[in-house]
Amino acid sequence: RKEVEQDPGPFNVPEGATVAFNCTYSNSASQSFFWYRQDCRKEPKLLMSVYSSGNEDGRFTAQLNRASQYISLLIRDSKLSDSATYLCVVPPLSGGYNKLIFGAGTRLAVHP
Amino acid sequence: EAGVTQFPSHSVIEKGQTVTLRCDPISGHDNLYWYRRVMGKEIKFLLHFVKESKQDESGMPNNRFLAERTGGTYSTLKVQPAELEDSGVYFCASSQTQGDTEAFFGQGTRLTVV
């Protein structure tokens, strides 16, 4: 089983839609998680950190379900500029940004 | 402030040749990481420098890969001799202090071995 698994998508949604994708992780001891965003042929950029039950930042909400070992990312009122690949990332048990474990990513395409 | 910069952005080499990738971290960042993404797979950790010292090189695939960070500034990753399966995107990232601060990624070097 992979350490981090994501549905590769693509998720094709119209502007204004709400979309959610999940990520499952295998190590039940993991305490914190990240969502990164990667535009085509660009570098991954940190979108959100998730340290407890969840985190909200504007149109983006990340939730953590420890019992089922998954993290979700919800995007409300989708914009064209949200089109990207969203990477679920698990840091080492010691925390921080060393030796990050990446999922393969979920592609989102927002259309007019 | 300049971000993490990587050179070259693209490289196409023949199997058996040598390629050297360079990463310039954000000024003042002691931590420097190398990651790579091979076709269709997830981004995977290669190694971690703290200043000029290798902190963790557990992700290096084999001894054809050599990373250096002389003087604790920029880093190079040399592949010698390159094999077809080395093709992918090599990312470098840097962070200010160990663990707790965000790691910023460079745009990557796309390596194609033919």
> What is the count of residue pairs from A and B with beta carbons less than 8 Å apart?
59
Cβ separation B42–A104 shorter than 8 A: yes
pLDDT of residue A53: 76
Cβ separation B56–A94 shorter than 8 A: no
Q: Which chain A residue has the Cα nearest residue B89?
A: A41
Cβ separation A98–B44 shorter than 8 A: no
Cβ separation A95–B31 shorter than 8 A: no
Taking a contact as any Cβ pair under 8 Å apart, which residues of chain A between 41 and 70 contact chain B? 41-46
Find the CB nearest A94 among B45, B93, B99.
Answer: B99
Which pair of structure tokens corresponds to residue B70? 């002389």
Where would I find the beta strands (DSSP E) of chain A?
4-6, 11-14, 19-25, 33-38, 44-50, 54-57, 60-65, 70-75, 84-90, 101-102, 106-111
Å between A67 CA and nearest CA of chain B: 25
pLDDT of residue A98: 79
Mutate to test the interface with A, among B43, B46, B55, B97 (most CBs of A within 10 A): B43
Q: Going residue by residue through chain B (114 aa), what tens digit of pLDDT does each one get?
A: 679 999 999 999 999 999 999 999 999 999 999 999 998 899 999 999 999 999 999 999 999 999 999 888 999 999 999 999 999 999 999 998 755 678 999 999 999 999
First to last CA, chain B: 37
Cβ separation A43–B105 shorter than 8 A: yes
Give ∠ CA A85-A86-A92 in degrees, rounded to 5. Answer: 135
Cβ separation A98–B56 shorter than 8 A: yes
Q: Do the Cβ atoms of B54 and B105 come closer than 8 Å?
A: no
Å between A30 CA and nearest CA of chain B: 15
Q: Do the Cβ atoms of B29 and B89 come closer than 8 Å?
A: no
- Rounded Cα gap, residues A13 and B91, in angstroms: 30
Find the CB nearest B107 among A2, A42, A104.
Answer: A42
The pLDDT tens digits of the residues spanning A54-102 come to 889 999 999 999 999 999 999 999 999 999 999 999 988 776 677 899 9
The pLDDT tens digits of the residues spanning A10-54 come to 999 999 999 999 999 998 888 889 999 999 999 999 999 888 778
